[in-house]
Structure formats: structure tokens, C-alpha cells
Amino acid sequence: MLNKILLIGNLTRDVEIRYTQGGTAIAKFGLAVNRRWKDRNAGEDREETMFIDVNVFGRSAEIAHQYLSKGRQVLVEGRLVLEQWTDQNGQKRSRHSVSADNLQFLGGARSDGGDQSQSGDYQTPKESAPQRQTEARPQSSATSVNIEDEEIPF
């Protein structure tokens, strides 16, 4: 089974952060994701916006809280989670959210006046996953891209 989701969108609100009793950071933010298509019947362009709740954990949560703000564009890679609870009236409630494993900051407005051209790639550390060491490669004058096997989408 596979539960993987990739989203690119803009934050709908500033990142909220809190800490568990054990000291683990948990950040939450909303993401607006647009889908555009051409309606064949009407012959016009259509657009749909989805609003998605995203949760980030650990050091990635702290980094998201520090650098992300409302309006900033971000790529989120993670998994879909079903949250269930009972509200104050005793009604059972549920909603889907995304638990982020990887965040990549994309171009967009920053409220702190920082360099808008920079993007960052921050991955939530997995405590059980072994760290892979990359071997040193000779530098060349051409720009190279380092792609890991896990990043290939097929």
C-alpha cells in the first residue's frame, strides 16, 4: 500500500507551533492548492481551490515556524491522515489532513523582507531510517543536480 501526497500551494495563515510534553515541536498551517482546467462543454477556463491542513513535526516544524508565513508558496510531501475526535456536543467528527515528511520553500512573498529567490528543502528526520552518506564527486564547471533513487517518481 502507498499513502503519499505532493502538494504545491500558498499558506492561508501563519504557522502555529506548540510543543508536546516530551519537547517535540508540532507546527500547523493551512495550504490553499489551486487546480485549473478547461471546461470542454462551456469552452472556458475553470479553477477550483482546495484548503488543506498540514502538520509538521520535530526540527522541520521549528524551521517552518521560523521561515514560513501567510502567502508563502511551499511544496509539501507527506501522507494523508484521518483525524477523528468527539466535539463538545458529543458528536463524532473527522477530517483529513496531511502529515508532512518534506517541505520545500518556493518563491513567494516573505514578510521579513528577506531574499525571495532562495528556496529551502527541509526534511522531517525519521528516527528509524539510517542516514545515507553521499560520496564526494569532483567539481566541474557545469551545474549538476544530485538526485537520490527515492526521488525518482517511477
Domain at 5-124: CATH code = 2.40.50.140
Q: How far apart are the first and last CA of the chain?
A: 15
DSSP state of 88: T
- CA nearest 15: which of 5, 28, 31, 32? 28
Count CB-CB contacts under 10 A for residue 103. Answer: 25
Question: At residue 3, what is the residue type?
Answer: N
Is the full-model pTM beyond 0.85?
Answer: no
Name the pLDDT band for 136 (thresholds 50, 70, 90).
very low
Mind listing the pLDDT tens digit for each residue in 86-97? 999 999 999 999
CB contact at 8 A, 54 and 60: no
Question: For the chain, what are the domain ranges?
Answer: 5-124
Q: Which three cell numbers stand for residue 31?
A: 495550504
Summarised one tens digit per residue, pLDDT across range 70-88 is 999 999 999 999 999 999 9
Average pLDDT over residues 13-34: 94
Task: Say if residues 33 and 8 touch (Cβ distance below 8 Å).
Answer: yes
Cα 144 from Cα 141, distance rounded (Å): 9
What is the model's pLDDT at position 31?
96
Residue 117 has pLDDT above 60, yes or no: no
Asked whether the predicted pLDDT for residue 152 surpasses 90, the reply is no
